[in-house]
Structure 1
Amino acid sequence: MEIKEIQEEIIDEFSFFDDWMQRYEHMISLGKSLPLIDEQNKTDEYLIKGCQSKVWVFPEFKDGKVYFTADSDAIITKGIVALLLRVFSNQTPQDILNADTSFIDVIGLKEHLSPTRANGLVSMIKQLKMYALAYQSQLN
């Protein structure tokens, strides 16, 4: 599925909820379905810098696509990273690099996060795109 289609799916999902408590509950349940990082990869090398809580993201490059696994020590952050992985995992480096992340604003996520969590969200996106850029440069 293309990134744009996944983002539309997420926007539709979030539109079903009337308030932010329900949306937070949905994000918590998404966090529980997160493809978890192997414990041996929970190292400083895969820790996202700029996040208040600890977030690890491990990239793998197989058959021209980037796959991510992750974990966090905070339940909401785990939901946020699960959303991002749903969009960016199993995509080509070029598609990840070209992806627009306006779906985050459309669902109202950034405005409902504390400033430190919003900064963490930006750091996560930046790191996912950095991994894609590294794999893209290997292709050239």
Structure 2
Amino acid sequence: MATAAFEEIAETFEFLDDWEDRYRHVIELGKAMPAMDPALQVPATKVEGCASQVWILPQIAGGRFDFQGDSDALIVRGLIAVLHALYAGLPVAEVGAVDAPAELARLGLDAHLSAQRSNGLRAMVARIRDSAAAA
């Protein structure tokens, strides 16, 4: 069910043996992501439950889901980029069917993130799913 962009990340992770290299790759994904306009970083787009500052602004066009996101932490910004690869471009009706924990487990993220980061990641996934369900 994963998008081609997410599959590309998963394939890259298969080639990176060291977790430090994987973390660096996630950070690079975040750095490559377009910055979110600071004017959109408001309480309505802030994701609660994250240790870092995180903002997600869902966007639906032509029945397809997308979002802008940003964080003040590089690794979290990278996690947002991973989630963007997982969800962006999907039909809105399919967003809720994505088994995000299973897909992210393919990357090994579930075993290598701190409890706080894992909670934040779950909060971001919940925001994405809830936004799609409300559309």
What's the TM-score once normalised by structure 1's chain length?
0.89
Q: Is the 8 A contact 2:3 2:85 kept in 1?
A: no
Are 1:107 and 2:107 counterparts?
yes
Match of 2:45 in 1: 46
Matches within 5 A, 1:28-107: 28-101=27-100, 102-107=102-107
Are 1:118 and 2:118 counterparts?
yes
CA RMSD of the aligned region, Å? 1.4
Alpha-carbon distance in structure 2 between the residues aligned to 1:70 and 1:47: 10
How far did 1:36 drift?
Answer: 2.6
What's the TM-score once normalised by structure 2's chain length?
0.93
Alpha-carbon distance in structure 1 between the residues aligned to 2:42 and 2:16: 36
SS at match of 2:67: strand
Alpha-carbon distance in structure 2 between the residues aligned to 1:5 and 1:97: 18
Alpha-carbon distance in structure 1 between the residues aligned to 2:95 and 2:130: 10
Match of 2:15 in 1: 16
How far did 1:6 drift?
Answer: 3.9
Show CA shifts across 1:74-122 (max 9, x none): 0000000110011111221111111112121121112111100010011
Q: Is the 8 A contact 1:31 1:80 kept in 2?
A: yes
How far did 1:8 drift?
Answer: 3.0
Q: Is the 8 A contact 2:52 2:72 kept in 1?
A: yes
Alpha-carbon distance in structure 1 between the residues aligned to 2:61 and 2:106: 31
How far did 1:52 drift?
Answer: 0.3
SS at match of 2:132: helix
**Identity percentage over the alignment?**
34
How far did 1:4 drift?
Answer: 4.7
Where in structure 2 are there 5+ consecutive unaligned residues? none
